[in-house]
Amino acid sequence: MAKVIGVAGFKNSGKTTLVEKLVTALTGQGIQVSTVKHAHHSFDIDHEGRDSFRHRRAGATEVAVISRDRWALIHETRGAEPPPLEAILAMMAPCDLIIVEGYKRDSHDKIEVRNLALDHPRLAGDDPSVVAIAATGPVPGAPVPVFDRDDVAALSAFIVRHCGLKAAS
C-alpha cells in the first residue's frame, strides 16, 4: 500500500505549485509518486467533438481512453456523490507515495500550506492530521514543524522521513 501525504490549505496558498515541485524532487530521488487533486468545481478532461465526449453525452457512465502514451478513465457521477478519498486511493496503481492535494478535512497526514499575506483560517493546532506547515514566512508558536514554502529540499526530506520512504542512493 502506498504511503499518503496531503498538501492542504486555502485558495491561493500555493498548493499546486508546491505539489508540482515536490513531485519533481521526490521522483528525482527515485520515488514513484502519484497524485490526487480535489476540485471544488466541475472540470472536463475531454471536449466536445471528441469520440469519448460523444460516448459520455450518449449516456455512458464510464469511458476509457487509451493511447500508447497514457490512458484515462472518465467516470460520470450523474448527480451522485463523488467517491470518498479512500475509494479513489484504492483504485490507484501501486506506487511509493500518493500526494493528495486538497481534502483538507480528511484524516490523512497533511502539510498545511500558508500564504501569510492572506488572512486564511489556520489548520495546524485544530487538526491533528497536520504534521507540518509550509509557509511564506515564520509561524511563531506553531504546533508542528514549519518549513519555508519554497524550501522543497527540506520539505521532501521531511516527507521521506515522515512516510518511511527509501530514496534511491
pLDDT in tens, 67-87: 999 999 989 888 899 999 999
Q: Are 12 and 115 in contact (CB under 8 A)?
A: yes
Kindly give the parts of the chain with pLDDT less than 50. Answer: none
Q: What is the pLDDT of residue 45?
A: 74
CA dihedral 10, 13, 15, 18 (to 10 degrees): -160
Pull the grid cell for residue 137: 514566512
Distance (Å, rounded) from C-alpha 104 to C-alpha 133?
A: 13
To the question of pTM greater than 0.85 for the whole model, the response is yes
Residue 38's φ and ψ, nearest 5 degrees, are -90, 130
pLDDT for the residue numbered 36:
96
For cell 472518465, the residue is 74
Q: What is the pLDDT of residues 39-75, one digit of tens each?
A: 766 666 777 888 888 998 899 999 999 999 999 998 9
Q: Which residues, at least 6 apart from 125, have a Cβ–Cβ distance to it below 8 Å? A: 142, 143
pLDDT given for residue 50 in this prediction: 86
Name the E strands within the chain: 3-9, 33-37, 62-66, 71-75, 97-101, 110-114, 130-135, 146-148
